[in-house]
Amino acid sequence: MGKPTGFIEYLRELPVDRSPRDRLRDWDEFHHEMEEQRLRQQGARCMDCGIPFCHTGLLLAGAASGCPVNNLIPEWNDLVYRGLWREALARLHRTNNFPEFTGRVCPAPCEGSCVVGMKGPPVTIKNIENSIVERGWEEGWILPEPPAARTGKKVVVIGSGPAGLAAAAQLNRAGHQVTVLERADRPGGLLQYGIPNMKLDKRQVVERRLRLLEAEGVKFICNAHVGENVEALLLLKDFDATVLCTGATRPRDLEVAGRELAGVHFAMDYLSAATRALLAGSPDETPIQARGRDVVVIGGGDTGTDCVATALRQGCRSIVQFEILPRPPAERAGDNPWPEWPKVQRTDYGQEEAAARFGSDPRIYQTTVRRFLGGDDGQVAELETIEVAWQRDAAGRWQAGEQAGSERRRPAQLVLLALGFLGPEQPLLRDLGVASDERGNVRAEHGRFTTSVPGVFAAGDCRRGQSLVVWAINEGRGVAREVDRYLMGGTDLP
């Protein structure tokens, strides 16, 4: 490394975000950029460790440890320190098709397994990654690179989320003619409609990359809902290979009394509607509106946080976020050692903004909803909660039990269910005759990605279940290799 003592000499620094009160006035991204000299110092903190766990991409204790796309992190950290930004971009694109996406929305498992992080703050890998790719766009280094020759093979990718886009990009690079079918009105899948604009700008970031893919030869067809207005079996006749990247879009429901009341919505329906209204130029004209309402978000993950931030921008009267699990510890617990993902308390952008608006963190832990209550108009008006106690059973498994006497009612005219997802929607799988596993996901072995139907492959959340954007990119690149091998008898794709 260019600076062997950099991790000793320089403190971890991140760019200062826009203030919560300021960013609540708009839907723009809230991160500021950092000047080059400070970025180079952060790159210098990469310590040339003997084994760089940051790019291992292992699964430890059920979570990612290190980068799932195996980014060459020490290499481009060193190049940034040396000021060799174009070379750093080349290293970054060697493993990651869309670093501007992961550099914004990835939880950075690479930083959780950084060797520097064993005894102090880890290297700011995620921010450096995003800075590299944004420098590439600004300098005009990222240009369309269509393949030199075409193979004459046609591939259809169903779904244009991160897995579908990665598969399409790689298969197009191999010279195949790639068509991506998207049932929504715009391509991008989760990137377009599942993640709010203030975390991932649609026009400046998502559509910028989509235009590049189109210029390289990828064809996008929107409003193409396979199984409804596109016949699934015809695709098997018209294309040499079919790739399923439909995501895990079946939301987990909360089956309690009053669930049928108006005003209780799945989180993704709410977030998608908000983004559609924003892209249409009328952010207030959304069918699911938080303005002037007491909003309750049920679920403590990233999607729940996105709901909190969106409701705040819409002008909610109050906001509460329920989480059934206990509050995580401030530091790693003894049973959560490095290089596992650190299961610690974090305050994300939505909670920061809620605290700025209302004076406190909106999260309430170890609490679940027992029932929704409404009036004669059929609209939810309040809900009843109860506290949860966690204990181990005889087999050592954690079990949740209700705390008697802890019932409480809260006002709520808008309830958003952010409880995760159960897997892919089934009609398309049945139409194609594709086998599912015991969880309802497409049965396809990781590394091969082949389904029970010859010529049909699967990757991303529809195969592995709900996961991270970076895992979807990993799988999209992996399935592209196997499709290329299936079509050509071998592959040179990385």
What architecture (CATH level 2) is domain 154-249+422-488?
Answer: 3-Layer(bba) Sandwich (3.50)
pLDDT at 47: 87
Q: What percent of the chain has pLDDT over 70?
A: 100
Contact (CB, 8 A) for 307 and 196: no
**Start-end of H helices in 17-118:** 20-23, 36-44, 73-81, 85-95, 99-105, 109-112
pLDDT of 2 > 80? The answer is no
Does domain 253-419 correspond to CATH entry 3.50.50.60?
A: yes
Domain with CATH 1.10.1060.10 in the chain: 6-139
pLDDT at 76: 95
Contact (CB, 8 A) for 410 and 380: no
Encode pLDDT of 215-248 as tens digits.
Answer: 999 999 999 999 999 999 999 999 999 999 999 9
Contact (CB, 8 A) for 373 and 413: no
Encode pLDDT of 140-161 as tens digits.
Answer: 999 999 999 999 999 999 999 9
CA 376, CA 387: separation in Å to the nearest integer? 28
pLDDT at 62: 87
Encode pLDDT of 437-470 as tens digits.
Answer: 999 999 999 899 999 999 999 999 999 999 999 9
pTM above 0.85, yes or no: yes
Q: Which of 44-53, 262-271, 285-294, 476-485 has the lowest mean pLDDT?
A: 44-53
CA 1, CA 48: separation in Å to the nearest integer? 6
Domain with CATH 3.50.50.60 in the chain: 154-249+422-488, 253-419
CA 354, CA 24: separation in Å to the nearest integer? 10
CA 143, CA 215: separation in Å to the nearest integer? 9
Does domain 6-139 correspond to CATH entry 2.130.10.10?
A: no
CA 26, CA 113: separation in Å to the nearest integer? 35
